[in-house]
Structure 1
């Protein structure tokens, strides 16, 4: 978000996006406010920005619409959408018996 926003304006923008997610059938799971940080490079002659992470789930079409709306929102400087893989789904925490069975099946 724009670096000059006060806490009220940041809250307003977060609530706006949260409402879009709900209206489009998604579910907001978590909001992390990272605060004002230095950008990796200047954007529109600005060196800082307010970073906010919104973790949500929804269908692919909903995600595309949220991205579209964010890109059209002049308060938002940049948008990055990634697919979140919960830690419980990583291979490192998989059941050892299942891993052994899969390895035996490959032989």
Structure 2
């Protein structure tokens, strides 16, 4: 199993509840295919560098997971089929990126405790 990180941007016209439901739908696609979700983060509504589909903001979400390579094709098909998704990108993490992600999660965990 490889470790991956995917970031997707959802349309800003959604409510917080709809955004969470949509993110949960994509997590379910992963878990149904046998992926193990390591971390998820909702970065919230952010301004984009340039307008996409005449929208200048979007809800950013990050999901880190371990999965077989064929799961990525299923996930990206689900992204393309959902009209709420503006953009998405999935990256396979090498050993250095995995190490960095672990340090970043540990640092975020310490901030939340304080």
Smaller-chain TM-score bracket: 0.7 to 0.9
- Equivalent position of 2:36 in the other structure: 27
For CA contacts below 8 A with separation 6 or more, give which structure has more relative contact order: 2
> Could you list the runs of 5+ residues in structure 1 that have no partner in the other structure?
89-107
User: What is the root-mean-square deviation in Å for CA atoms of aligned residues?
Assistant: 1.2
> Could you list the runs of 5+ residues in structure 2 that have no partner in the other structure?
1-9, 101-114
Structure having the higher strand fraction is 2
Deviation track 1:81-106 (CA, whole Å, cap 9, x = no partner) reads 11123117xxxxxxxxxxxxxxxxxx
State the alpha-carbon separation in 1 of the partners of residues 59 and 20 from structure 2: 12
Query: SS of 1:33's equivalent?
Result: strand
- 1:25, CA displacement in angstroms? 1.0
Q: TM-score, normalised by structure 1?
A: 0.77
> How many residue pairs get matched?
88
Which of 19, 27, 30 is matched with 1:10 structurally? 19
Q: TM-score, normalised by structure 2?
A: 0.73
- Pairing 1:87–2:96 present: no
* Runs of 4+ with deviation above 3 angstroms: none
State the alpha-carbon separation in 2 of the partners of residues 72 and 46 from structure 1: 19
- Pairing 1:74–2:74 present: no
Deviation track 1:44-99 (CA, whole Å, cap 9, x = no partner) reads 110001100011110111011101111221011001111123117xxxxxxxxxxx
Query: SS of 1:5's equivalent?
Result: coil
- 1:7, CA displacement in angstroms? 1.2
- Equivalent position of 1:58 in the other structure: 67
Instruction: Kindly name which structure, 1 or 2, has the bigger radius of gyration based on alpha carbons.
Output: 1
- 1:15, CA displacement in angstroms? 1.0
